[in-house]
Structure 1
């Protein structure tokens, strides 16, 4: 651990030089010390942040550190006017409404919400919203049938290698579960149970949406007996069997492992690359759609097919009252021609 006593990360006078950037986690730790958190409580406080959260805020912390260095400011002592000046600079540099909100959330950790969540900052962000309205990442989504038709060509499983089997299993699981790559990367063999008609997967690790009182994801994969070439449960079952001999001496038995020796567990970024490889091979434009688009594609396809909204929400891990699906994920396919509204009005 870096000795914060020997590394200055704030500047109180022009003669006090900044040392090298200490990293986001050290800035968070030092901010808590300055705000009176007892040393014995620090590790527990730091544990309240998911690693993905600190990673998401890392660029904001560094941008704020550089800004304070240039302006000769203490990064832990700033009022709303200085925060507004920083956000204005980032806006002029081209930061989006979403990015500015991320900056504000990051600064709330080290400055306190009394500085970053007030009428002035709120008004500023409303102004940004009007000047540069945010647009959804995807205005349309892709047709899951296109990808499933491609994956059906990788069958029977006796004739495909580990690379294709890994890509196919991961992609089918992503489509069938509507889960994030992070969640899929956490699947462990001990949490997979096979039943007569389905495979059930429990997620025991904390994920992005984990919070007190919320249920952990439970993925149910029924066996599609009528179409085994794209059955997610059969793909998972086959993948486990074909990788059984490669798992010797692995510390934790995660479902997905590397396709090359020493076949260690793979991270969410690797799974995302696998899915993008399948999307590209299927003819999907990966310059527009990433691996995360499987959530939008699968939930939208299910909803269009008449699946109850409550079922869609539960499958993707959204609460019964959540509006996330309609706000961010409900999309028509790029080649759809949904004229039902006008046709109903004019009787065509």
Structure 2
């Protein structure tokens, strides 16, 4: 079921796999911990281009257990694409580690895994990153003394030590003031006079701010199932979100009209955007489409670039703050006025632990999340 990397020449799958990971240095702590899971790479022994996916190894491990193919397809869907990308990095590193040490992956010991995780620690990786590596190895399914990797007592003890020596830290020591961006948006011409580009960027930023949205969540917003009320618009998501789990329905977004100033009213902006893009969509239901031909639905990275463009134009240093900082900026701004329960609900956090770790402030006044955010610019 598992692959002996000491006999790579006899296993085309592992040979292809190691042809990929030789470009990744396990000692390079400066390399970002993400990569595309499916790439065309040069096979080191056969000298040809071969498509390779780390999750093909997980698939093979399931199939070797005689699990039906259709069931395997469904089981592999349990890992979201973002998780697959994260895991692939460390599955590659694990097989490179085994290859260099001529470790038979049929006979892995807990000491081998501890050695691998120690190497990651010594390369400067954080607790959160090493924890991802532990989960990636668990996904391979091999057992250590009867335990899956992540549940072995010694592995758990090791991760506790990593946390104490190198505890998780917030990416930012402080957050930017949303007033800066809101004032920039307020000073833009009326939405009817904006170019499609500026209208698109304004809408993306207003939703991101008033909903403390992840970029991936913005990408998944769809016009299918849209419901318009007198003072609000309800949007659905086209797929499950990061925080979605079994037993919990996919959430929706309720955007409320902001009467004090329509220049920063997300509903007013959205209505104009829907009107302007309707003749361009040609059957495309996702909310955000390109403002240039051929007007297709955009990727999360494109929306991230839009948000950073607005931040830059407003005067925020995007060399320091990335698009994801919008979540922290908006929730920090309203933490003094909005009940923590609403903040957790809007931002999609399961409990107050994450929020309190970084934004533990007294609640002085109970108001809605979006109104408090927009009022702060007055």
TM-score, reference length from structure 1: 0.85
| Separation of aligned partners in 1, 2:184 and 2:265 | 13
Q: 1:39 aligns with which of 61, 69, 77?
A: 69
Q: 1:68–1:328: structure 2 CA closer, same or farther, 3 Å change rule? A: farther
Consecutive unaligned residues of structure 1, counting only runs of 5 or more, are 333-348
**1:339 counterpart residue number:** none
Q: 1:294 aligns with which of 294, 309, 326?
A: 326
Q: 1:275 aligns with which of 281, 298, 307?
A: 307
Q: 1:308 aligns with which of 321, 339, 364?
A: 339
Q: 1:109–1:36: structure 2 CA closer, same or farther, 3 Å change rule? A: farther
> Which stretch shows the higher mean deviation, 233-242 or 39-48?
39-48
RMSD in angstroms over aligned alpha carbons? 2.3
| Separation of aligned partners in 1, 2:105 and 2:328 | 39
Give 1:47-58 correspondences, 5 Å limit: 47-58=77-88
After superposition, the C-alpha distances for 1:210-254 in whole angstroms (9 at most, x for unaligned) are 111213222121111220111111111111111112112x4x311
Please state whether the residue corresponding to 1:166 is helix, strand or coil: helix
1:230 is the counterpart of 2:264: yes
Please state whether the residue corresponding to 2:176 is helix, strand or coil: coil
**1:11 counterpart residue number:** 5
1:20 is the counterpart of 2:16: yes
**1:130 counterpart residue number:** 164
After superposition, the C-alpha distances for 1:131-170 in whole angstroms (9 at most, x for unaligned) are 3333211221111111100111222123321111111110
| Separation of aligned partners in 2, 1:318 and 1:61 | 28
Q: 1:242 aligns with which of 273, 276, 279?
A: 276
Give 1:88-107 correspondences, 5 Å limit: 88-107=118-137
| Separation of aligned partners in 1, 2:91 and 2:152 | 20
Please state whether the residue corresponding to 1:221 is helix, strand or coil: strand
Q: 1:179–1:72: structure 2 CA closer, same or farther, 3 Å change rule? A: same
After superposition, the C-alpha distances for 1:17-69 in whole angstroms (9 at most, x for unaligned) are 75122322212212223455333421111121211110121111111121122
- Of Structure 1 and Structure 2, which has the larger fraction of its residues in strand? 2
> Which stretch shows the higher mean deviation, 257-266 or 120-129?
120-129
Give 1:326-337 correspondences, 5 Å limit: 326-328=356-358
Total equivalences in the alignment = 322
Consecutive unaligned residues of structure 2, counting only runs of 5 or more, are 18-51, 363-378
| Separation of aligned partners in 2, 1:84 and 1:98 | 16
Whether the 8 Å contact between 2:9 and 2:15 is mirrored in structure 1 is no
TM-score, reference length from structure 2: 0.79
Give 1:138-177 correspondences, 5 Å limit: 138-177=172-211
| Separation of aligned partners in 1, 2:102 and 2:161 | 28
Please state whether the residue corresponding to 1:191 is helix, strand or coil: strand
| Separation of aligned partners in 2, 1:26 and 1:15 | 18
Whether the 8 Å contact between 1:279 and 1:285 is mirrored in structure 2 is yes
